[in-house]
Structure 1
Amino acid sequence: MPQWSDYSTGERIKILRGRDITQADLAELTGRSIVTIQKAEQDKALSLPTLLAIASALGVDASVILGQQAPRKALEHSDRMVIRDLSRAVHDTAAGILPVDTEPVALSELQETTDKCWNLYWQGRYIEAGAVVAPFLTAAAARLHEQPAGEQAPALGVLSDAYRLAGYVANLMGARDLAYAAIGHAQAAAERAADAMRVALVGSGRAWVYLRDARLPEALALAEKSAADIEPRFSRATPEELTAYGSHVNFAAVVASRMGDKDRAGDFLSQSHATGARLGREVRAHGTLFGPVTATTQAVGIKVALGQTGQALDLIHSIQDVSELTDAARNRYAMDKAMAHADARQWDASLDTLEEALRRSPDWARHQTLPGVIVEKVGKASTARLRRVSKLIGVAPGTQGFLPATAKTAL
C-alpha cells in the first residue's frame, strides 16, 4: 500500500478532490480556470497562490497537498469543511470574536438547538451535527454577551454544552487538537456557571478525548472522578441523575477494560448494571441515553476488550431488543457483537452483523476504526462476503490502509 508521500502533488490533489468534486467544481471554488486545475493535477504547473487556493477549497493545509503530512482517515471534502468551520467557531468565540451581524437569540431557542444537535450526534450524523454546532456556538456566545451581570449562569451552561458537542464531533473525526480546545472551553464555561453536573459531564468528555489519544491512565482517573463527583443516593435520585451517573460509570468500565484491568472494569460494570436496573428503562438526559439495555450492550464491548469472549457471547444471547437505543449506540453494539463473533472464529456471523451495520449507517461507519479491525481479523476467511464488506469500508481484505475508498478509486 503506497504511503501518502509516495503520490505526486497532482495525484494528491486528485485524491483529495475525490468523486464528489469535479475539476470544474474545483476551478470555481478556487477562482482558477479548468486548465489551471488540470495542469496542477498533471504536475505540469502549480504556483504558490494556486496551491494555497486549492488547499483552502479542499479544506486542508497546504502541507497535506505537498505530502508533508497525511490526511485524516476517511475525511471527505464535506468533512474537512465542517471541521474548518467548527474550528473557526470554537477559537473565535473563545477569543470573544463574533460576526458583527450576530443576533442574540432566546435561551429557550438555544436549548432547543442543543437537543437538536444531540439528536443528530446520537443518530451518527456527525457531519450534520458539526454543521449545526458551528453557528450554535456563535449564537450561544452572543447570548452570553447580552446577559446582565448576575444572570449569566444559564447562558454559560448552554455555551458549555455547545463546546462539549464541538469537542465530541472533533474527537470522532480525528481532529484531536480541536477536541482538546473545545473541551477545555466547555470546562471553563461549566465552572463559571458553578454547575457541578456539567463540570462532571465535561470531565467525562475530556476522559474520552484522552482515551482516543491513548492517554489511558489519565482517562481512567478522570472518568472515575467524574462519576464519583455526581454519584447520587439511589433512594432519592431522579431519573436524570441516574442517567448521568450510569453513563459515567459505564465509560469508566470501558477505559478500565482498555487497560486490561478486569477487577476495576468489573466493579464499574456492577455499578452500571445496578443503575440501569434502578432506572428500569432507557432515559435520555444531559445529552446521553442510559438504562438497562445500554448497560448490557456496552458490557459486550467491555468483555470483548478484556478477552472474555465467552461472557460476551452469553450477553449477546441474552439481548433480545435494542430498538430503544440511539442509532449510534445500536451501531456500536453491532461492531462489538461482530468482534465477539470474530474472536470466536464465527466468521459468517461476524461478517453478517458487520455488513448489516455498514449498509444501514455508511456515514457513521466512515468515522469508526473497528470495522477495519474486524475485517483484518476475519481476513483469513476468503469469502465473497468478506470482499463485499471490505469494499464497504474501503480496504482490501488483509490490509488496513489509511486512504478512504474515494481515494483508492480516484487513481
Structure 2
Amino acid sequence: MAASLSSAVRLYHDNDYGQLARVLPGLLEYGDTVSPGLRSRILQLTGSVMVQTRQLRTARTVLERALVAAESTDEVLDAASVVVTLCWLLLVERRFQQVDELAMRWADRIEPRMSRASERELSTWGWLLLRGSAAAIRDNRPDDAGDMMRFAQAAAVAVEREPAVYQDYWTSFGPATVAMKRVENAVIDDRPDLALRLARDVPAGLRPTSDNRNRHLLDVAQAHMDLHRADPALDILLQLSREAGPWLIEQRLAKDLLARMIGKRRTLSHDMRALADLIQLEY
C-alpha cells in the first residue's frame, strides 16, 4: 500500500489527475485497514487533489480526518504536514487569520534546532512559515510576511537543496522554493518590478515540485501583465498549456490573466483562442 501511495503522489506532482482519479478510490477503500499514519497520508493526498480541483468543502472534511489520524500517532511531522495542506485550503478560502494562527502554532510546536535538525524537520517547519507569510502578505501585513520569509530562508539554507524525493510530505522545500515564494509575495504586494527582479534570482538547476514551479511561472506572468507586458505573459501561459495543461485548467489566475489579455485585443490569435478553449474561458 505504501508503494501504491508513493506512485499516486508522483501522479499528483505530474499533474496526471485523470489517472489519479482512477487510483485514489482504491487507496481510500483500504484506508481503514492500514496504520493511522498511512491512512493520514492517503487522506492528505486526497485532500490535496480536492483543493487543487477546487472541491473545497469536501477537502476540508478529508483533511480534518487526515489530521485526526496523524495526531493519533507519535509522528508529529505527519500531523504538521497535514496542517501545511490545511493552511493551503484556508488560503484559497481567504481565511488569512486562521492560516496565521494555525501555521504559527504548529511552527512553534515543531521548531527544530537548526544545527542538528533533519531535512524533513526543516522542510515541514519551513513550509509552515511560508504558509504564514502567504497569509500575512494577503492580509496587508508585509512586515510580518517578511519576518516569516526570513525564517523560512534560514531553514532553506540549512536544507541546501531541493530534495529529489517528496513522498513523505508531498512537496519539496529548499532555496528555489523559498525564492519562488518571495516572487509570489511581491506580486501579491503589488510590486511587479520587484517580482521580476526576484525571479531572476531563483536558483537554477534545483528541483521544486512541478506545482510550485507552475505557480511561480503564473506569478511571473502576472508581474508582466501588471507592467503591461502581455507578450511575455502569453508566452508563459502557452508554455504551461504545453507542459501542465491539466494543472492550468484548474487555475483561476490563468483565466484572469487571459481575460485581461483578450480585453485589450480587437482580434485574437490562434494561440489565444486555443488557450481560451483549453482553460474553458468564454470570449
- Contact 1:247–1:288 (CA<8 Å) still a contact in 2? no
The equivalent residue for 1:328 is 211
Larger Rg: 1
Measured after TM superposition, the shift of residue 256 of structure 1 is: 1.7
Give CA deviations for 1:298-354 in whole Å, capped at 9, x if unaligned: 221121011121211111122362662222222111111101111111111111111
Q: 1:390 to 1:327 in 2, by over 3 A?
A: same
The equivalent residue for 1:256 is 136
Measured after TM superposition, the shift of residue 290 of structure 1 is: 0.6
Q: Distance in 1 between matches of 2:208 and 2:147?
A: 24
- 2:278 aligned with 1:392, yes or no? yes
The equivalent residue for 1:186 is 66
Measured after TM superposition, the shift of residue 120 of structure 1 is: 1.5
Measured after TM superposition, the shift of residue 376 of structure 1 is: 2.5
- 2:161 aligned with 1:161, yes or no? no
The equivalent residue for 1:94 is none
The equivalent residue for 2:231 is 348
Q: Distance in 1 between matches of 2:17 and 2:147?
A: 32
- Contact 1:260–1:305 (CA<8 Å) still a contact in 2? no
What code does the residue aligned with 2:75 have? Answer: D
The equivalent residue for 1:59 is none
Q: 1:292 to 1:224 in 2, by over 3 A?
A: same
Give the percent of matched residue pairs that are identical in Structure 1 and Structure 2: 26
Q: Choose from 238, 257, 276 the match for 2:156.
A: 276
Q: Distance in 1 between matches of 2:18 and 2:121?
A: 29
Give CA deviations for 1:261-282 in whole Å, capped at 9, x if unaligned: 2111111111122211111110
Q: Distance in 1 between matches of 2:183 and 2:17?
A: 24
Q: Distance in 2 between matches of 1:368 and 1:255?
A: 19
Q: 1:323 to 1:196 in 2, by over 3 A?
A: closer
- Structure 1, unaligned stretches of length 5 or more? 1-109, 144-154, 398-411
Q: 1:241 to 1:130 in 2, by over 3 A?
A: farther
The equivalent residue for 1:361 is 244
Which structure: greater helix fraction? 2
What RMSD, in angstroms, separates the aligned Cα atoms of the two structures? 1.9
- 2:12 aligned with 1:121, yes or no? yes
Give CA deviations for 1:71-121 in whole Å, capped at 9, x if unaligned: xxxxxxxxxxxxxxxxxxxxxxxxxxxxxxxxxxxxxxx222222222111
Q: Distance in 2 between matches of 1:159 and 1:195?
A: 13
- Structure 2, unaligned stretches of length 5 or more? none
Please give the residue correspondences for 1:206-217 in structure 2 after superposition, counting only pairs within 5 Å. 206-217=86-97
The equivalent residue for 1:38 is none
Paired residues in the alignment total: 277
Give CA deviations for 1:206-233 in whole Å, capped at 9, x if unaligned: 2222222232211221122222222111
Give CA deviations for 1:10-56 in whole Å, capped at 9, x if unaligned: xxxxxxxxxxxxxxxxxxxxxxxxxxxxxxxxxxxxxxxxxxxxxxx
Q: Distance in 1 between matches of 2:136 and 2:180?
A: 17
Measured after TM superposition, the shift of residue 186 of structure 1 is: 0.7
Measured after TM superposition, the shift of residue 388 of structure 1 is: 4.3
Q: 1:161 to 1:343 in 2, by over 3 A?
A: same
Measured after TM superposition, the shift of residue 394 of structure 1 is: 2.3
Q: Distance in 1 between matches of 2:169 and 2:24?
A: 16
The equivalent residue for 2:192 is 309
Measured after TM superposition, the shift of residue 294 of structure 1 is: 0.9
What code does the residue aligned with 1:371 have? Answer: A
Q: Name whichever of 122-131 and 335-344 sits farther off.
A: 122-131
